[in-house]
Structure formats: structure tokens, C-alpha cells
Structure 1
């Protein structure tokens, strides 16, 4: 049973849990992107559409994060996903369940130091104004200020190697256009559960300077 659970968890970290949830409480004027499905996701404004990537301005957001240990078999991702999933399903100071959101974001340092270690994050939905504190010492809440990012999207089932390759392609495109960005890390964002076969959506982000 434990092996079966770990395999399912590993599948989940390739995407996210797209179970049906109530529509998020976001402004009526904002048109949520199709790739968010029925789940809440961060609000952004499209600054410019380039040929192979986008420039977006995101509003300030809140995330629940946990360290991520990178290993060949992906067991670190299973453990990180499990910690975050336990938090949103009730493992916190207040027994309050939080809806699943997208994307699941993984912070990937490219140069160490000073980029730091990898983390996995769940977006805290807009409807949760005062999220409870986690009880797990390896899980914590973190606020991200409004930021401008360059985003490259791609489809299909994506392993870590695919995200890394797409990040390198995006970095080359940004340099070729003379666009400044923080190249010490990138963010990999997954939007789909492992059972979604068609129209899968994945992204890599670089923070603009």
C-alpha cells in the first residue's frame, strides 16, 4: 500500500490535483486563463506577447512552501508534495481545509550560491485571507511581492529534464533580445493532474529585472 501511495504521489507532482472546486473569489473583470481550469490561480496582466514567450505582470501573492530535496528517483518531490497536501487538507494550527490551486511551483536554482535550495509551493487561494500557520516545521507561509516575469509555455507530460531544457531555451531567447532577467534561478510551474491527457500546460518563468 505504501509503494502504491508513493507512486500516486509521484504522478501528482508531475502536474497538480485538478479536482473540481468552487470558483475562486476574484474580480469579475479578470478573465482567468483557460489553463487554470476550475482552480484558483494567481492574477496577472499580459504586458507583451512575444513569438515564443510572454511577459506578464503578476499581483502580489501568498504561497505555502516546503524545502525540496532533488534526487534521481523523485522521492524528494513525493515528500514535498505530501507535506503541502497535508497542510491544505487539515494539518495546520486551525483544522481548516484549503482548496487545491494551480500552479504547483518549484523554485530551481541555476547557480549556487546565492540562489539557495529548491522549494515546492502551493498558491494560497484568494478566498483565504488569513491562512492558518502550518504545524509542520518544514512547511511555511511566504508572501511574494508583485513581480514581472517572462514565461515560456509548453505541453505534454513534463519531467524535470524537460523543464530544464525549456528554461535554457527561454534564457537564450531573452539574451538574444537583450531583455534583462535574474538568471540565478527559474520557476517551473505545472497546471495539470497526471490523468489529463490532452491540452496539458506547463511553464517556466524567469523574473524580469
Structure 2
């Protein structure tokens, strides 16, 4: 009986690991993606659980703009690191947005490192780059296709949805997640993220009898 229980627990743990490490269908352009487990879904958004991770980031300078910061990240993956190794492509590209004096501005961009570098990440050679260890996180996610436009309206709509559903979340910023390169014209996948600060309420709603 004990042996059967051990086998069942092992299979369950392997199933959870597989769910976390399997690439989602919309992450087809990267060799490794920031893996997640979906906690629950709401008509307007979903809640995901993310494991601890390590990211390389760059600040977005007002004098340069977001795409120069993204270029620094690409250079880091393309051997501009110590010890000068090529790093496989990952997704998504994350951008932090904040309302600064009434204007929506990108402040930081990030790319997740492959899992094999979580323990000992390559150090950036560019002084504008930095490494950041992220703890386990619960994130509210709203997906959309096409190009990242009308961000203020999209983020405001999600912000109001979260307030209406009485979810608790970090309100002074949001994030965009991009899974496609600039040359991909069709079937693009993007997301808006808000960081959860409490148990997702859709979890309780999904347990209610229909």
C-alpha cells in the first residue's frame, strides 16, 4: 500500500512539473518560455502562478526609448556577457509601464533567463543591464492579439475589471508580455499583467456550484 502511495505521489509531482515546463501554444518562437500554472479563469482575465526565476533587465532611458533597451538585452543573449556565451532565446519580453505625471511611460524591460542559468546567471558586460531574481508570483493576465497599441485603454479596462471583481493587486504599474518578434505579422500573442497581492477571487468563483 505504501509503495502504491509513493508511486501516485511521484506521478502527481511529475504531472505538475510537466504543466509548468511545457511551452504554451503561443510561445512557438522561443526555445524556452517563462512557465506557469493556470490557477483559474474569469471571462475577462486569468490568474497564473509563476515559479521563482532570474531575469536580465534594462532601464528605459527617456533619451533613448524602449527599443534601445531591448537591443541591449538581445546583445546580452548574443555573447555580450561574462563568460561570453550564446544564450538560447526565451520569451516573453516584459515591459514595465507606469503613469508618470499623467503620461504612460515604459520604465524597464526584461527577458527571463533559461532555467539552467538560475543558479549561476552570466553577468552582464553592459553597465546598463542588471540581473533580478524574482520570487514566486501570482499574476492576473489578459491576452490579446495583433500589435501592442492603445495600451492606456487596454490596461484601464483590465484595471477596472479587477476592481469590479474585488481582486487585490499592485495598482501603480502594469506589464506587457510579448511573445513574438517584430517580423511576425500574423497570429501574434500579447498580454497585459497585473501583479496579484492576494488569493485570486476567480478561484472561489470557479468552485461555486453551477
The TM tier, using the shorter chain, reads: 0.7 to 0.9
Aligned residue for 2:177? 189
What does residue 134 of structure 1 align with?
124
User: Which consecutive residues of structure 1, in runs of 5 or more, have no partner in the other structure?
Assistant: 1-26
* Count of aligned residue pairs for this structure pair: 175
Q: Is the 8 A contact 2:72 2:129 kept in 1?
A: yes
**Structure 2: 5+ residue runs without aligned partners?**
1-16, 198-210
CA, structure 1 residues 117+169, in 2 after alignment: closer, same or farther (shift >3 Å)? closer
Distance in structure 2 (CA, Å) of the matches to 1:44 and 1:70: 32
Q: CA RMSD in A?
A: 2.0
| Contact 1:64 1:124 (C-alpha < 8 Å) held by counterparts | yes
For the 8 Å contact 1:64–1:122, the answer to whether it is kept is: yes
CA shift in 2, pair 1:70/1:164, >3 Å: farther
Bigger Rg over Cα: 2
| Larger helix share, 1 or 2 | 2
Q: Which has the higher relative contact order, 1 or 2, with Cα contacts under 8 A spaced 6 or more apart?
A: 1
Greater strand share, structure number: 2
How far apart, in 2, do the equivalents of 1:38 and 1:196 lie?
10
Q: Could you tell me which residue of structure 2 aligns to residue 150 of structure 1?
A: 140
Q: CA deviation digits over 1:56-99, x for unaligned, max 9? A: 1111111000101357xxx5122101111111101112111111
TM-score (norm. length: structure 2): 0.77
Q: How does 1:61-72 map to 2 (within 5 A)?
A: 61-70=53-62
TM-score by length of 1: 0.77
Structure 2 residue matching 1:110: 3-state secondary structure: strand
Counterpart in 1 of 2:207?
none
| Residue 39 (structure 2) pairs with residue 51 (structure 1) | no
**1:44-123 matches, cutoff 5 A:** 44-70=36-62, 75-110=64-99, 118-123=107-112
How is 1:8-47 mapped onto 2 (pairs within 5 angstroms)?
A: 27-30=17-20, 31-39=22-30, 40-47=32-39
